[in-house]
Amino acid sequence: MFATIMGSATADTSLHSYFKDIYLITLSEFEMVETAKSVIENNFWLFFLFTFFTIIILLNVLIAIVGNSYEKSLVHSELLFGRARLESVAELMALEQFLKPLPSVIAPNFKGVNHSIFQIISVFLGALITGLLFYCGYTMVTFSQGPFEIVILSLVFSLLLGQLTSILIATREENSVIGKCFQNVFFVQWMNRAVQLIMWKLLGTSTLSQSPRDEWHGKVRHIEKQTRKIIAEFEERSRIDAIQISKKSEANSQLMEGRMKYEILIAVQALDEKIQDLLESNQKKAQ
């Protein structure tokens, strides 16, 4: 290759010029070969430095960049797979929570709902009950007779209004016993039960009290399916074994029949030979 590309005089006399010419030809600069000889004939270090910085350093930088990008892509892909797993687990947990019959405590996924929606509902509920109490008090005072009845009704009205205010304040606190009880009653027994009823209706379950029976029926159906599957597999295996046994028995019977025929033929031939021998011996004695 060296002899065909470069002239024999250049290849034999100047090795670094030969490398420069090969480099220029590699870059497809055929016209620069003759013109660059006079300029960079003795500049061997330029070629060496350019080759060093271009091939070694820049190539290592490129490898580092590609390796870093590959590691980042692996990290991002792992994060994506982890996020997908978390989303699937969250969906399964939410579905299980919807199908769970009558939970006694608030599930963790309802805490955000309790924190945001419950305060708005409590405000509207408090305003409604307060207006109802005022209306009842006004009606009682209007239709009551005597100061004693008015005082008693005012005390009862004040106690009810104070109790309602304390309950509404307590329900806004997350760690209070009254708030937890009221939130459990409202969210678990009303909202969650309604959602469960809708989900059960959509999934084919008719009543709330049917979940243990449905679970038992599901287990029984699973056992029946497994039993039918095992019976079918056993019948198929038995049929195959019976076919193989029948084939083997037919082959053995044919083999035994052939052997018996062969033995009978041999015995008949031997008997014929003995009879011929006896006849010949009797003829000889008679002569």
The pLDDT tens digits for 6-43 are 554 554 556 666 666 666 666 555 555 455 555 555 45
pTM of the model: 0.22
Tell me what the mean pLDDT of segment 47-57 comes to: 71
* pLDDT of 86 above 50: yes
Give the contacts of 109 (CB within 8 A, at least 6 positions apart): 93, 94, 97
Tokens in use for 216? Answer: 């038992």
Task: Report H helices in the chain.
Answer: 2-5, 8-13, 15-26, 31-39, 44-51, 58-99, 111-143, 147-172, 177-183, 193-203, 211-286
Phi, psi of 7 (to 5 degrees): -70, 155
- What pLDDT, on a 0 to 100 scale, did the predictor assign at position 3? 46
* pLDDT of 47 above 80: no
- What pLDDT, on a 0 to 100 scale, did the predictor assign at position 245? 86
DSSP 209: G
pLDDT tens digits, 60-74: 778 878 777 777 776
pLDDT tens digits, 216-229: 666 777 778 878 88
- Report d(CA 191, CA 204) in Å as an integer: 20
Q: Which residues of 250-267 are buried (b: 16+ CB within 10 A; e: fewer)?
A: eeeeeeeeeeeeeeeeee
Identify the three-state secondary structure at position 148.
helix
- Report d(CA 176, CA 102) in Å as an integer: 22
Tokens in use for 217? Answer: 């029926």
Please provide the distance, in angstroms rounded to a whole number, between the alpha carbons at the two ends of the chain. Answer: 113
- Report d(CA 146, CA 157) in Å as an integer: 17
- Report d(CA 21, CA 31) in Å as an integer: 11
